[in-house]
Every structure is written in C-alpha cells, then in structure tokens.
Chain A
Amino acid sequence: MTEPITLQQDETFVLNVGPQHPATHGVLRVKMTMDGEYIYNAETVLGYIHRMHEKMAENRTYPQYMPNMGRLDYLSAMSFNHGYALVVERACNIEVPERAEYIRVITVELNRIASHLVWLGAYVLDLGGFTPLMYCFDDREQILDLLEAVTGSRLTYCYFRFGGLYNDIDDDFITGTRAFITHFRKELKMYAKLVTGNVILMKRLKGHGPVDQNMCQRYGATGPVARGSGINYDVRRNEPYSVYPDFDFEVPVFTEGDSYARYLVRMEEMEQSLRIIEQALDKLPDGPINPKKKPKLIKPPPGDYFAAVETARGNFGIRMVSDGGKNAYRMKLRSPTYSNMHLFDEACRGMLIADALAFMGSLDLVIPEMDR
C-alpha cells in the first residue's frame, strides 16, 4: 500500500498534523501535502517548545545545569543525567566510586524500561488499542515508586552528581527491584501474548514504514530505529562507558526495517535491561557513593570534551567546550529523536495517513528532547 504516486500538484491539499494532534504526542507539527489519503510530501516543523537549553549551559555553572538534563527527554531523564555527568567527569578527571557506577546503571536501566513502557502503551494507543496503555502505566508506576524513593522525583530526575550520586539506595529499593523483576517478566510474557501476537497489530506493522540501513546512516538515526534496520550499534557495547562491560547482555538487532522490527527491538530491550539490573544487583559492591576528593568548584580545564550514552531512544552525545571558567563556553547536545524524526519526511512519502502515523509512533518521539 505504499506505491509511489504521480499526480498533479493542484489536486493536493495541505493537512496540518499538529502542533496539537493526538498522534504527535506533543507540539510537533508535520505539514503534509495530501492526495486524498495518500501523503505526497511531508515537512516536519519543529521549534514549538524550543527552550534554549544549549544557551542556558553558557549562563549557568556546571552543577546548576544538571536539572536541565531532566527536562530534555522527560521519559528517560536518567540517561541524560548520565551523559552530562560523564562529560564533566571526563573534563575534570573525577573518579567515580564503584558502588555509584553500579547504582547509576541500575537506575538508568529501570528508567529505560519505564520509558519503553510509555512508548508501548502510547504506540498501541496510536493504533487504536486503548487497553495496553493502562497495563503499561500500571507497571511503570512501580518503577516510578522505586525511583521516587531514592531520587525524590518521579519524572524529571536530577539524581546524578559529578563523581557520584545524590542519595544511596537502601535495602527496600533492592528488594523492591527484585520483586519488580519477577513481576515484570510475567507481564512481558502477557504483552507478548496479547499485544505482539495480535493479528490486526501485525497486519498494521509488518512491512509498513520501511527504513533501510542507508537511510538510517544518512539521517544519523540511532537506537531502536537503527537496530530495527539491521545496524548493530549500541553505545553501551560499542563505546563502553561506566561499568557496562561488566555485564552480560545482548543487543537485539532486526534486519526487516519495518515498524514491527522496531517494535520487537524495544520489547527485547526491556528483557535485556532486566538482565542488566539483575546482574548489577548481584554484584553491587559496598562503599561510598561520592568520591573522597572532589573539587569544590567545578572548573574544567580549557578544552573540548565529548561523551555519549545510550538513552532509550538512541545515542545521546554531549560536546562541551570549556574556556576554564565557571560555566561552559559551548554545550552542544546531540539528541537521538532529532535525527530519528527527520527520517519521517522521506520515508512517509506515498503512505496512507493511517500508516504514516503508525510509522511515526514507531520512531518513539519525545518532542521536548527534539526541540531542546
């Protein structure tokens, strides 16, 4: 149903999907030139919630900028915390204690599962199935409760500190997380049975929204979008950071490149995150969570620094240029869905609007992260 079409320009009409539209999950606007229900051309219009996060970095001291990280990708804020902490630690040569690294991994992976759960619920909602959303939010609630107990917030975390963490985890958190893992394994089986195997869902996803390897590379797509198109790349494994090399986990890769492949990648990733959390809880060492020696004032030496982490949506890169002052000279944030989104314009040409919106949902867009 995605044959390219030829038509006269004057037979088309413009359909504004967004900035307020149920399928865009935020203030994204796509200007679609339509031929009936077929998309002739699409143009993404960004910037409706641009908040100048990059400029803010130049006016704030390094610790003051940490809360901004929770406001980019509100669904996987923990990974963004991690990315920023990493780049400043690299710049200032701050050693992170072993225990802090493990807790970082545990919280980031829990956050990744929560993020994927929101995606799953919202995505099936995009396809017209309302019920899975409730189940997903039910499970996510348990993760949020766990994280709230240690971090103090439920969504926009500001948990990481340069060289360590704000708060240590307690036994309640550990037992709670273990209980959640057993519970969630059962839930995942249920999702596989009720949602993944559904005939209508498979019909709507299989073969629809094709993104090939070449297109991913041209647009710089990363994360589940790239892995669903056969690009075997995950920052956690290819450019290891933190204590990820200590863990045994797989990077799910599917070569089909359709919406269903991206769907399966995320479902599989939740299982792998559970494995990582389990291993981290087993290996969790004792000790301090903050370094003994840490500069009072964070003033990285002049230079150009870079760090990248794998968020729930892909590669989050952060490039920091310091002139030796109290705040950064330049902070460039490379957020994953900004690149992933721009595939859409090219890939959705000739699609029906229903398929295009199903495809957009499979890219897992978070608009505040795109606009920054």
Chain B
Amino acid sequence: MSLTLFNVVLAVIIAISFVGLNAAYLVWCERKGAGLFQRRPGPMENGPWGLLQPPVDGVKLMTKQLLIPGGVDKAIFMVAPVLAMFPALISFVTIPFSENIVAHPIDVGVLMIFAFAALGGMSLLVAGWGSRNKYSMISSVRAVSQTVAYEIPLMITTITVVMISGSLNLGDIVQTQLGGFWHWNIWPLQKQVGFNLLMPFSFLILFVCSVAETNRAPFDLGEAESELVAGFHTEYSSMGFGLFFMGEYANIVIGACLTVILFLGGWACPVGDLGFFPFTHHVGWFLLKIYLIIFVFIWIRWTFPRTTIYGLLNLSWKYLIPISLFNLLLTAGLLKVF
C-alpha cells in the first residue's frame, strides 16, 4: 500500500514536470508552427531558434502582478485557474506511456479521465462566473454547452472501443492492438468484430471531439477573441492566466494521449514484431504518435477560421451523436455475431 502511495506521489511529480515542460515547449512549437504556416520564422530572439523563449515567458508570467478586479468573488476567482490545471495533472496518473511506464494502472482509467475532464469544464464556468465580466460570462456559458455537447459523442465513441477491447483499463486497450498497425482500432477490420466500416469515422469523431473539448480553434468559441475579447480569462493576469494556458496545453496532451491509446495502438510499433526496429514496444512510439497528433492540432488551428456556437452545437447533436450511437449499435451487433 505504501509503495502504491509512493508511486502515485512520484507519478504526480513526474506528471507535473512533464506537463509543465510540455506546456512551455508546446507554446514554442505552436509559435514555430504558426510561423511555418505563415511564412515567417516565429520566435528567434531568445537563444538559438528562440528555444529560451518558454523560460523567459515563464519568468514574465510569474513576476507580473496578479490583478484582482474590484467586486469579483475572490474565492471563486482564485480557485478557477487551479481547477483548470489540476484535473489535467491527475489524468496523467492513469495514462500508460509504455507497458511499464504507468503511474497507477486503474481498472476504470477511461472513466477517471472523463470524470476529470468534466471537472475541467467546470473551471471555465467558475472563471466566467467569478470574473464579473459580461464577456467572460457569455464565454463560460458557451464553453459549458460546448463541453456537454462534445463529451457525449466522445464517450459513446470510447464505449465502442471499450466494447471491442473488453476493458476500461487503458493499458489493456493498448494490449489488444499490439502486433502491427493493421490491428489498430482505427481500421474497419478487427479480429473481435469482423468488419466494421464505421471505425475510421469513429476515430474522426473522437478527434473532432478532443479538439472541441480542449477549446482549440476552430472550436475555440470560449475564447473567441474577435467576439469576446479573451473569453473566460479576460480578467486574469500573471499566473492566473498562466495556469489556464498550461491547463489548455495539458488538456491537448491528454486528448492526444487518449486518441493514440484508443485508436492508434498506444506504444505499439506500427510494423509489429517483424524485427525491423530494435524497439518494438517502446515509449518512443507513444511520444512520436502523440506529438504527430499535436502537430495536427496546431496545423488545424492556424488554417481554419472559427465556427459559430450554433454551428458547433448542430454538428454535435445532429451529426456526431447519431453517427456514434449508430456505430455503438453496429459494434454491439457485430460482437454478438463474431
């Protein structure tokens, strides 16, 4: 028992550093990526290729004054950024980076991630409510309806995968996909369910939902800067804003991890055990896959204009939910047949 506790504490420390480093350098990657798509170099001033930009930004954020506007509900105002960061950190405890690198393999890992993701949605509501700003309020109401609308197809799609794997444990879900990319859940052909044509669509739905869940462009309606100034974090300065920022990037990493684990085989080598590579099952494959997914996130953000809130909700309720429900039924039927 004490060993488990030690493991968890160690894992949280590692998770914090992993998330912190990731958030800082994902901002750098994001800005470099934006530069790539906009024919400009991006940050170049601090260090070689601007590599020292994240620590410098961090110092700036930490040394700025934390302004609390007059008349806000102080407790709520202060707790919101922590609420944005904390669930994302906790979620890392159950994510298997490879067969052995996992802090605490929980048998209901999938459920836990969703539970904490929902808590993350609450932080937006609390931030908007506590800020005493009309723009923040509109933004948080939007963010909550968006989170609710996109959690449903996300969960239904995940249930489909869970049914195929027969486990809620993220490690076990990866275990069923080992042995080459043709075993991954993204393909229609599965050994458990025979032929399910809807699986690639499920992957797309999951991907779209994780973009929407993390409030990323083109679904960044919570912080639509041309309409709502900066949305729910309009009134936040210094590390209050910094925590929201880190929370956003931590959520992106979680979203990418979930996508990779559920559909892209987790830490599995794409060509299986054919002996081309010395590392068939390795944390490197996992990291490679999540960073590819994150690159696609960045690519989408700097390419598309923003949708509107009704377009977003229509997409979820009218298309994504029916399709994922139908896929759930189909998969259940196929599982019965095979």
Binding site for B on A (CB under 8 A): 1, 13, 15, 21-23, 37, 124-131, 134-135, 138, 198, 200-201, 203-204, 352-355, 357
Contacts and interface: CB of A to CB of B under 8 A. Distances in A.
Given A131-B37, A134-B39, A353 B304 contact: no
A96 B307 CA distance: 51
A352 B224 contact: no
B34 interface: yes
Closest 9 CB pairs of A and B: A128-B306, A129-B305, A134-B38, A127-B305, A126-B226, A23-B226, A128-B305, A354-B308, A200-B305
B227 A357 contact: yes
21 contacts: A23-B227, A127-B306, A128-B217, A128-B218, A128-B305, A128-B306, A129-B306, A131-B37, A131-B303, A134-B38, A135-B38, A198-B305, A200-B307, A200-B311, A201-B305, A204-B307, A352-B308, A353-B138, A353-B227, A354-B221, A357-B226
Interface residues of B, number: 28
A127 B40 CA distance: 22
Nearest to A360: B226
A129 B224 CA distance: 11
Contacts of A126: 226
B309 interface: yes
Contacts of B40: 134
B270 to A, nearest CB: 31
B307 A203 contact: yes
Contacts, number: 74
Nearest to B228: A353
Interface string B278-315: 00000000000000000000000011111111110000
A138 B39 CA distance: 9
B308 A204 contact: yes
Contacts of A125: 226
Contacts of A138: 39
Given A128-B226, A129-B304, A135-B38, A354 B309 contact: yes
Q: Taking each of A1, A127, A355, which has the highest tally of chain B beta carbons within 10 Å of its own beta carbon? A: A127
B227 A354 contact: yes
A22 B221 CA distance: 15
Contacts of B229: 21-22
Contact of A128 (B138, B142, B224, B310): B224
B191 interface: no
A125 B304 CA distance: 10
A131 B227 contact: no
Interface in B116-154: 134-135, 138, 142
Given A128-B217, A128-B220, A135-B38, A22 B225 contact: yes
Nearest to A129: B305
A143 B268 CA distance: 53
